[in-house]
Amino acid sequence: MVGSDGGHVILSVREANGRWGLSYLHSRYSLNGLARAVAHKLGKSGKHCEVSVESIWIDGTPQAKAQTSSGAIVNCELADLLFLLEEKDVSGMVQKETALLIQGKATPKYNKLTSGSSTKKERKLLESMDRSMPLVLFKDTKSSSKSQIGSYILGCIPLGLGDCSRYLLMPKSAAWFAPCYLSIAPFQVGWPSSINSPYLKRPRSVVEAIQRMALFGDIGKEVIDPSKCEWSRLVNDLRGNYAGIHMAGYGGQARINTSREVISFASRLHTSYQSSRNRPPNHPPMTQRSDMEENIVPSISIVKVSITYTD
């Protein structure tokens, strides 16, 4: 594979597929399509709203150290992506924010996790972590005190991160190996049917997952006051207060992208979208912070969907 500087980057086939699959998810083309699809899906559900999507691509992923239910210590990647859903009222005030950790995997089958060593470690963390013990996060694999992001005792449920994380499966080749592969979306979100099974239970497309987050709240975990919630503190620590620091692109792709500015519904029976003629800024702020605050670069790649309900 050729890098953006013309040099060769050595990656395994699976790693390359996974990296470039995630890179595509962050592209402006993908974000535009995602915004349109979410608007259409919510419109069919009777929700009048405007939708925009933005992302930040960060090299590397946060590393985690935790204790499993058996007492074993697991050290591995926390997730590839932090997914944020922001819901606003007609005046633009945020009414609810939901976050979801996404672990991406390139696989031959749309509903089956791979069985590599990294996947085994990540599954121990995401599915068997003892929530009464500290989850310690680091910015890199050195896991030094200088690179520590924070330590969190999440509680709420005994084991795992099933309430706040999901796997994202991406096809290893041009399409899924399935009887009717053309009917299966290229990005499938889900959770294993059991700790011992590699198969996801009822995987959904990214758009369907967002729809369920907005309409039913059964995917992802709400972000509230971080002083009252360890999960919310973790999310805030991961996303930092990025306000537009320029970074070089990944394979020629911009680090920060946003969809067309406005996607809206015309009526409950007919869904349409409108978009600004001007291209969105290359470096949109992901959070609104004081100009006096220091810019803190996120420790994880982010995709944020903003939904403003118009009635």
Residue 5 included in any domain:
no
**Of 34, 45, 52, 59, whose CA–CA distance to 251 is shortest?**
59
Give pTM, 2 decimals. 0.80
For residue 143, the model assigns a pLDDT of: 75
| 258 domain-assigned | yes
- Name the nearest CA neighbour of 43 among 260, 269, 208: 269
- Here the tokens at position 216 are 């039913």
pLDDT 10s digits, 133-145: 999 999 988 877 8
Q: Is 227 exposed, middle or buried (0-12, 13-18, 19+ CB in 10 A)?
A: exposed
Q: Nearest 5°: phi and psi at 211?
A: -60, -45
- For the chain, the first-to-last Cα distance in angstroms comes to 49
Task: Spell out the residues 6+ positions from residue 98 whose beta carbon is closer than 8 angstroms to its own.
Answer: 84, 85, 87, 213, 217, 220, 221, 222, 223
Distance between CA 300 and CA 82 in Å, rounded?
A: 7
Q: What is the pLDDT of residues 118-133, one digit of tens each?
A: 999 999 999 999 999 9
- Residue 53 above 70 pLDDT? yes
Residue 309 CB burial class (10 angstroms; 0-12, 13-18, ≥19): middle
pLDDT tens by residue, 6-29:
222 233 444 445 566 676 777 777
Q: Could you tell me the residue range of the domain that residue 191 belongs to?
A: 15-286+293-309
What pLDDT was estimated at residue 296? 72
- Check whether 35 has a pLDDT greater than 50: yes
* pLDDT for 180 beyond 70: no
Average pLDDT over residues 59-75: 92
How far is Cα 276 from Cα 258, in angstroms, rounded to an integer? 12
59 or 118: whose pLDDT is higher? 118
According to DSSP, the residues that pair with 104 across neighbouring strands are 168
Quick: pLDDT tens for 196-239.
Answer: 999 999 999 888 888 888 888 889 999 999 999 999 999 999 99
Asked if residue 116 belongs to a domain, the reply is yes
C-beta of residue 300 within 8 angstroms of C-beta of residue 78 = yes
Distance (Å, rounded) from C-alpha 26 to C-alpha 250? 10
**Mean pLDDT of the 176-181 span:** 56
* CA–CA separation, 298 and 226 (whole Å): 17
Residue 32 domain-assigned (yes or no): yes
Number of compact structural domains in the chain: 1
- Give the model's confidence band at 56: pLDDT under 50 very low, under 70 low, under 90 confident, else very high: confident
Mean pLDDT of 286-303: 65
Whether residue 196 is contained in a domain is answered as yes
The answer as to whether 302 is a domain residue is: yes
Is there a domain that residue 2 lies in?
A: no
Give the bridge partners for 2, in sequence order.
Answer: 8
Residue among 202, 256, 239, 190 nearest 26 (CA): 256
Assess if residue 130 is contained within a domain: yes
Task: Report residue 176's pLDDT band, with 50, 70 and 90 as the boundaries.
Answer: low
The band of 45, judged by pLDDT with boundaries at 50, 70 and 90, is: confident
